[in-house]
């Protein structure tokens, strides 16, 4: 037997029946079973919560989900087949879900549906609008992901996402807007009355005589109609920026002051996360959605001291606390400048692609114009529209820059340090310059070859003088290597020389003295033997 679609109990509405006797009893049994089934179905129905995750990449969104749901809890998401729900966020609007488990990992407190979007393209507004209904708005939280790999783009990225959300909200029905106004009033009153109201809306109720405390300057000036949380991922790269780009504590404090000032206008929360470290991200998000554990309540404490573990809950910050962080920060100017950015039309000229990709495209375009003999700034207005005067994005990017590009900018003589330029010459001009260099190198090589011929002999003499004669022992006789080589050369030259012509023969030398030779050999034959030796007779 199927349950009633409206899931309301019909037990009290069936006390009066039209039938009598056995027919009346059958109707009573039917209504009783229907009531029991409706009661069981209503008890097992999970609270549905929505999380709209904007920004980041496909990988960073997956990291966010992993940090939001514990590993043990992810194993029990689907109790029917024990499989983790897939994450479909590669194209357009992605989707996944997970169940929030209680502290004992047994009871399911709520089911959170995550809608994931990586690009603030205007065409995606039609995908977000159906998600915001009078029933879903009180159970929806907006999360914007930023990454510490590119902190110099944060203000620009925040502006694009907030302008996208405002364009969606403006197109909603009147009923949705009224529901958003009620949600924002409830959020503004949390923690501002005499009662101890928690972040998730639970706690002691304020007394009748208690009134909400007045808002401070710059607080809730631009309420979106939905609670907002900004998550700065990969805060471990703070140390990398300090080592490679020489960022100091002043720069990190400046970035934090900008974020806190801007988010204060929207009543938003802020948190830094690291994949390898635990953080109160889960407590912050679940409390913002009104999900509370029945067994354990983890207190959410603000932290603005540890530069890689920042936590700023909603309705906690103020201009006074922002000024204390670092002197010299003009919080009034930044807050007013952000209102100028929110008045910009959507989409802005740079919202169709990330700023990093635009900088690369600007550089390639400028290089093309330089190769054609045009000025490098001729295409600037086509690729990067000037910011409005007094814009917070412009103020931020002047003070927070990617210093790894400074060397390239100085080498190219560019004054715009937010762009990566790689100029190149025209192809024919480049080849002509290389041909001229080749000719010069050829002449230099020919001259060097002639000089080497004359220098070779002197070099050999210098080597011989430095090393000295080379001698070695051959059969007990000490032989001079240089002398032997010279004799071999003389013999080879003598063997290769042509026979002399008869007319060119030198005069014959006098014949040897035969008498002298006969006398020499006679003396050898008649030589007396030495003492102790044998006597030889001739």
Beta carbons of 93 and 116 less than 8 angstroms apart? yes
Please give the Cα distance from 72 to 18 (Å, whole number).
Answer: 55
Tokens of 18: 């039209």
Beta carbons of 334 and 395 less than 8 angstroms apart? yes
Beta carbons of 186 and 315 less than 8 angstroms apart? no
pTM of the model: 0.64
Please give the Cα distance from 210 to 192 (Å, whole number).
Answer: 10
Residue 384 is predicted with a pLDDT of 53
Residue 9 is predicted with a pLDDT of 34
* Nearest one of 222, 221, 135, 212 to 179, comparing CA atoms: 135
Distances (CA, A) of 112 to 98, 285, 495: 6, 11, 104
Residue 420 is predicted with a pLDDT of 56
Helix/strand/coil for 123: helix
Q: What is the pLDDT along the chain (538 residues), one digit of tens a residue?
A: 443 333 333 333 333 344 445 555 556 656 777 776 665 555 457 789 999 999 999 899 999 998 887 644 444 444 444 456 777 777 889 999 988 887 777 778 889 999 999 999 998 999 999 999 999 999 999 999 999 999 999 999 999 999 999 999 999 999 999 999 999 998 888 766 544 455 655 554 445 555 667 888 999 999 999 999 999 999 999 999 999 888 999 999 999 999 999 999 999 999 999 988 888 999 899 989 988 877 767 678 899 999 999 999 998 999 999 999 999 999 999 999 999 999 998 887 654 444 444 444 444 444 444 444 443 333 333 345 678 888 999 999 999 998 776 555 555 555 555 555 566 777 888 888 888 889 888 888 888 877 676 666 666 665 556 556 666 666 667 767 677 777 777 776 766 666 555 555 555 556 666 677 677 766 766 655 555 455 444 4
- Strand pairing category for 48-55 and 140-147: parallel
Helix/strand/coil for 92: coil
- Geometric angle at alpha carbon 297, from 293 and 298, rounded to 5°: 125
- Strand pairing category for 311-312 and 108-117: unpaired
Beta carbons of 25 and 1 less than 8 angstroms apart? no
Residue 303 is predicted with a pLDDT of 94
CATH 3.40.50.300 fits 47-202+210-339, yes or no: yes
Helix/strand/coil for 70: coil
Tokens of 446: 């020919």
Domain boundaries, the chain: 47-202+210-339, 353-384+401-440
Rg (CA), the chain: 46
């Amino acid at each position: 037997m199927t349950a009633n679609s409206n899931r309301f109990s019909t037990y009290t509405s069936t006390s009066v029946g039209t039938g009598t006797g056995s027919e009346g009893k059958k109707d009573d049994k039917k209504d009783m079973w229907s009531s029991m089934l409706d009661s069981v179905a209503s008890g097992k129905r999970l609270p549905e919560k929505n999380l709209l995750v904007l920004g980041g990449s496909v990988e960073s969104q997956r990291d966010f989900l992993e940090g939001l749901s514990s590993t043990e809890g992810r194993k029990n998401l689907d109790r029917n087949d024990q499989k983790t729900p897939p994450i479909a966020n590669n194209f357009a609007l992605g989707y996944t879900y997970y169940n929030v488990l209680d502290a004992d990992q047994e009871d399911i407190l709520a089911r959170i549906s995550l809608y994931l979007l990586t690009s603030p393209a205007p065409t995606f507004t039609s995908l977000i609008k159906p998600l915001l209904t009078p029933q879903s708005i009180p159970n929806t939280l907006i999360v914007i992901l930023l990454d510490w790999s590119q902190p110099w783009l944060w203000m620009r990225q925040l502006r694009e996402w907030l302008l996208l959300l405002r364009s969606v909200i403006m197109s909603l029905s009147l009923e949705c807007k009224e529901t958003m106004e009620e949600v924002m009033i409830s959020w503004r009153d949390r923690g501002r009355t005499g009662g101890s109201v928690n972040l998730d809306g639970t706690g002691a109720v304020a007394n009748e005589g208690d009134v909400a405390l007045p808002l401070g300057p710059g607080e809730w000036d631009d309420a979106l109609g939905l609670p907002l949380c900004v998550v700065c991922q990969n805060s471990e790269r703070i140390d990398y920026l300090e080592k490679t780009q020489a960022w100091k504590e002043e720069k990190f404090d400046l970035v934090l002051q900008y974020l806190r000032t801007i988010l204060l206008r929207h009543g938003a929360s802020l948190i830094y996360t690291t994949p390898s470290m635990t953080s109160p991200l889960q407590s912050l998000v679940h409390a913002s959605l009104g999900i509370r554990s029945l067994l354990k309540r983890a207190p959410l404490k603000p932290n603005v001291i540890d530069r890689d573990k920042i936590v700023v809950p909603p309705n906690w910050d103020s201009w006074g606390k922002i000024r204390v962080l670092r002197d010299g920060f003009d919080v009034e100017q930044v807050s007013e400048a952000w209102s100028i950015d929110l008045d910009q039309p959507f989409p802005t000229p740079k919202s169709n692609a990330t700023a990093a990709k635009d900088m690369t495209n600007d550089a390639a375009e400028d290089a093309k114009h330089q190769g054609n003999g045009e000025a490098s700034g001729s295409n600037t207005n086509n690729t990067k529209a000037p910011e409005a005067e007094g814009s917070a994005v412009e103020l931020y990017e002047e003070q927070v820059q990617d210093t790894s590009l400074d060397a390239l900018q100085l080498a190219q003589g560019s004054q715009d340090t937010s762009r990566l330029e790689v100029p190149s010459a025209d192809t024919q001009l480049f080849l002509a310059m290389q041909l001229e260099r080749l000719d010069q190198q050829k002449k230099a090589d020919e001259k060097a070859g002639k000089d080497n011929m004359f220098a070779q002999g002197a070099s050999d003499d210098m080597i011989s003088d430095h090393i000295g004669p080379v001698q070695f022992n051959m059969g007990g006789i000490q032989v001079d290597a240089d002398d032997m080589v010279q004799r071999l050369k003389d013999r080879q030259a003598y063997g290769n020389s042509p026979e002399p012509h008869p007319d060119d023969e030198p005069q014959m030398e006098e014949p040897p003295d035969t008498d002298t030779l006969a006398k020499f050999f006679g003396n050898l034959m008649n030589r007396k033997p030495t003492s102790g030796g044998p006597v030889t007779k001739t």
